[in-house]
């Protein structure tokens, strides 16, 4: 299996090379030349641990690593950094199952992939005898940044630079990043939103002149965003693992179909579920949940993707995105792997701010249902689910919960359903405390404590000591200064 670009103008790469490089040289995204089949019988799945499932998935997609290498990465990543021994947890809430993906060090699902990406990257660097220092660039809507910093802090042979939108992430998210320790970590706020940060990073990747300059300093750039295939594939594992767990718990029969609801921003997490289906998992509908920035809802319902619309800062900031990068990978697969077509669509998006799918591709979107929840609906969902079930949702998972509600009302579909629980409610304490009807304090930490006091749910250890930590990063720049900032950091 090789890795090729969605836009067709880059040479084939080994999986190791694709992980080191991050983005293809023609600005496309790397995709596997074929999606592997699940390498075991479905009936075996319920017997496997998280580590076993993750190893199987990674070995299937990354054949250039040995079994020993993959297992070493898996066991180094998924260890006591996670506060749950099964790494992920499934909680029944009303008639759905919440797949809690936030038991890692930074209390959001980004830990699931960013705990392992540095290990995959350093293993790949060794295997390819890469002599250059790798500088990881990440644009973040709040959660990727901290998870990438934790993952790459003090990793030999790497620097990590994170760009986040100033005043557009939650207070806890910001404090998590600005207090980051490590001799190779750099955190920079930019004036703009997540799309500005992500486009800036993509432009830097496409800058041949900069690449040459850095090469002369023995430095190569790579990505920690879900545009990196090494970030995306580890996420396939938890959907497959959780299916086995539902069978084991007697909640479904082996072979029975399930729906998966995902609160979506960059389309990475939901694409990982789709890859699970392509591997042969009995997944039925993928329910794509958006907030008020509902560009994906409109796309799934009409086939037209348009960013010619207002951008909103919402109470689910990690989904405040208009340019959803990984959609490009889905389009590639449903276009019959037509890289010319994908190139044209992406050029229209860049030039005209929109594109429309040709008719034959519209049917292929049938696996997906799209809808959105307003900020008010998000708040009432948090308070209702707390009252009815004593389960505390974060704002992103609440968006997904509400959208599932709409799906059920519209379709009457009773298929067993799991929701990707993407963050601890404490990361968004201000919005959560407001939703529960209490006064919001100026001080984000007071709100965290109030949430704990009022609900009895415990603040995760990783967030509890945040207030005492020194602020080590405070740079704010204009977005057109990103490239110069990188040069300054690396020289």
Ligand X SMILES: *Cc1c(COP(=O)(O)O)cnc(C)c1O
State how far the Cα of 183 lies from the Cα of 76, in Å rounded to an integer.
21
Task: Look at residue 465 and give its three-state secondary structure.
Answer: coil
Closest approach of ligand X to the CB of residue 273, in Å: 10
Two tokens, residue 176: 């998590």
Choice between 318 and 417, CB closer to ligand X: 318
- According to DSSP, the residues that pair with 191 across neighbouring strands are 478
- According to DSSP, the residues that pair with 478 across neighbouring strands are 191
Element (H, E) at 147: helix 143-152
Q: Of the ranges 130-138, 199-207, 257-265, 337-345, which one interacts with ligand X (CB under 6 A)?
A: 257-265
State how far the Cα of 371 lies from the Cα of 229, in Å rounded to an integer.
27
- According to DSSP, the residues that pair with 5 across neighbouring strands are 30
Decide: is 315 part of the binding site for ligand X (CB under 6 A).
no
Choice between 226 and 417, CB closer to ligand X: 226
Decide: is 319 part of the binding site for ligand X (CB under 6 A).
yes
Closest approach of ligand X to the CB of residue 155, in Å: 22
Q: Is 209 a catalytic residue?
A: no
Closest approach of ligand X to the CB of residue 368, in Å: 13
Q: Are 243 and 277 in contact (CB under 8 A)?
A: no
Decide: is 143 part of the binding site for ligand X (CB under 6 A).
yes
Q: Are 56 and 40 in contact (CB under 8 A)?
A: yes
Decide: is 263 part of the binding site for ligand X (CB under 6 A).
yes
Decide: is 329 part of the binding site for ligand X (CB under 6 A).
no
Closest approach of ligand X to the CB of residue 67, in Å: 28
Choice between 18 and 321, CB closer to ligand X: 321
Decide: is 105 part of the binding site for ligand X (CB under 6 A).
no
Decide: is 264 part of the binding site for ligand X (CB under 6 A).
yes
Q: Are 26 and 53 in contact (CB under 8 A)?
A: no
Q: Are 192 and 165 in contact (CB under 8 A)?
A: yes
Decide: is 297 part of the binding site for ligand X (CB under 6 A).
no
Determine which residue in the list 118, 192, 200, 265 makes contact with ligand X, applying CB under 6 A: 265
Two tokens, residue 154: 């003090």
Q: Of the ranges 264-272, 302-310, 362-370, 376-384, which one interacts with ligand X (CB under 6 A)?
A: 264-272
Decide: is 177 part of the binding site for ligand X (CB under 6 A).
no
Determine which residue in the list 314, 417, 422, 450 makes contact with ligand X, applying CB under 6 A: 422
Antiparallel, parallel or unpaired: β 417-421 and 96-100: parallel
Closest approach of ligand X to the CB of residue 66, in Å: 29
Determine which residue in the list 193, 266, 293, 378 makes contact with ligand X, applying CB under 6 A: 266
Two tokens, residue 412: 């009457």
Pick the catalytic residue from 89, 110, 146, 402.
110
State how far the Cα of 342 lies from the Cα of 332, in Å rounded to an integer.
6
Segment 252-255 long-range contacts (CB within 8 Å, at least 24 positions apart)? 252/416, 254/42, 254/43, 254/45, 254/46, 255/42, 255/282
# residues near ligand X by CB under 6 A: 16
Task: Report the half-sphere exposure of 476 (CA within 13 A, side-chain side).
Answer: 8
Antiparallel, parallel or unpaired: β 185-191 and 475-478: parallel
Report the chain's C-alpha Rg in angstroms. 21
Choice between 16 and 269, CB closer to ligand X: 269
Q: Are 89 and 102 in contact (CB under 8 A)?
A: no
Choice between 265 and 370, CB closer to ligand X: 265
Decide: is 202 part of the binding site for ligand X (CB under 6 A).
no
Determine which residue in the list 396, 444, 450, 459 makes contact with ligand X, applying CB under 6 A: 396
Decide: is 423 part of the binding site for ligand X (CB under 6 A).
yes
Choice between 113 and 346, CB closer to ligand X: 113
Q: Are 39 and 52 in contact (CB under 8 A)?
A: no
Decide: is 294 part of the binding site for ligand X (CB under 6 A).
no
Q: Of the ranges 61-69, 259-267, 279-287, 440-448, which one interacts with ligand X (CB under 6 A)?
A: 259-267
Residues annotated as catalytic (active site), given as ranges: 110
For binding to ligand X (CB under 6 A), which residues are involved?
108, 110, 143, 226, 263-269, 318-319, 396, 422-423
């Amino acid at each position: 299996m090789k890795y090729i670009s969605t836009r067709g103008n880059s040479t084939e790469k080994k999986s190791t090379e694709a992980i080191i490089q991050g983005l293809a040289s023609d600005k496309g995204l790397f995709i596997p030349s074929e999606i592997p089949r699940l390498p075991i019988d479905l009936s075996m799945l319920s017997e496997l641990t998280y580590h076993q499932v993750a190893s199987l998935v990674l070995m299937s997609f990354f054949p250039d690593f040995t079994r020993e290498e993959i297992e070493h990465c898996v066991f180094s990543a998924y260890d006591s950094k996670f506060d749950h021994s099964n790494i992920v947890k499934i909680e029944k809430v009303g008639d759905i199952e919440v797949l809690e993906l936030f038991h890692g060090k930074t209390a959001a699902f980004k830990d699931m992939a960013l705990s392992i990406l540095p290990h995959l990257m350093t293993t790949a660097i060794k295997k390819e005898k890469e002599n250059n220092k790798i500088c990881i660039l990440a644009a973040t809507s709040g959660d990727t940044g901290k998870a990438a910093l934790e993952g790459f802090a003090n990793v030999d042979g790497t620097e990590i630079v994170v760009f986040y939108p100033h005043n557009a992430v939650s207070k806890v998210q910001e404090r998590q990043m600005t207090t980051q320790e490590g001799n190779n970590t750099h955190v920079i706020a930019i004036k703009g939103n997540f799309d500005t940060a992500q486009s800036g990073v993509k432009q830097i990747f496409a800058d041949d002149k900069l690449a040459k300059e850095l090469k002369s300093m023995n430095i190569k750039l790579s990505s920690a965003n879900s545009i990196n295939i090494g970030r995306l594939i580890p996420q396939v594992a938890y959907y497959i693992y959780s299916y086995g767990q539902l069978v084991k718990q007697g909640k479904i029969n082996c072979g029975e179909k399930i729906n998966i609801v995902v609160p979506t921003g960059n389309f990475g997490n939901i694409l990982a579920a789709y890859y699970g289906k392509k591997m042969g998992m009995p997944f039925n509908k993928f329910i794509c949940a958006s907030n008020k920035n509902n560009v994906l809802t409109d796309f799934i319902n009409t086939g037209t993707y348009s960013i010619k619309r207002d951008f909103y800062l919402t109470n689910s900031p990690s989904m405040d995105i208009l340019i959803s990068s990984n959609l490009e990978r889905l389009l590639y697969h449903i276009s019959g792997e037509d890289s010319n077509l994908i190139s044209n669509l992406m050029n229209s998006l860049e030039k005209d701010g929109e594109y429309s799918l040709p008719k034959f591709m519209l049917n292929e979107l049938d696996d997906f249902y799209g809808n959105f929840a307003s900020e008010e609906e998000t708040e009432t969902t948090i308070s209702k689910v707390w009252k009815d079930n004593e389960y505390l949702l974060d704002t992103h998972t609440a968006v997904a919960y509400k959208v599932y509600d709409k799906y059920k009302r519209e379709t009457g579909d009773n298929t067993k359903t799991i929701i990707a629980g993407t963050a601890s409610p404490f990361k968004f304490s201000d919005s959560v405390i407001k939703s529960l009807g209490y006064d919001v304090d100026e001080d984000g930490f007071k709100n965290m404590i109030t949430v704990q006091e009022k609900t009895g749910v415990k603040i995760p250890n990783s967030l509890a000591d945040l207030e005492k930590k020194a602020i080590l990063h405070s740079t704010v720049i204009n977005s057109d200064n990103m490239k110069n900032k990188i040069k300054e950091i690396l020289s």
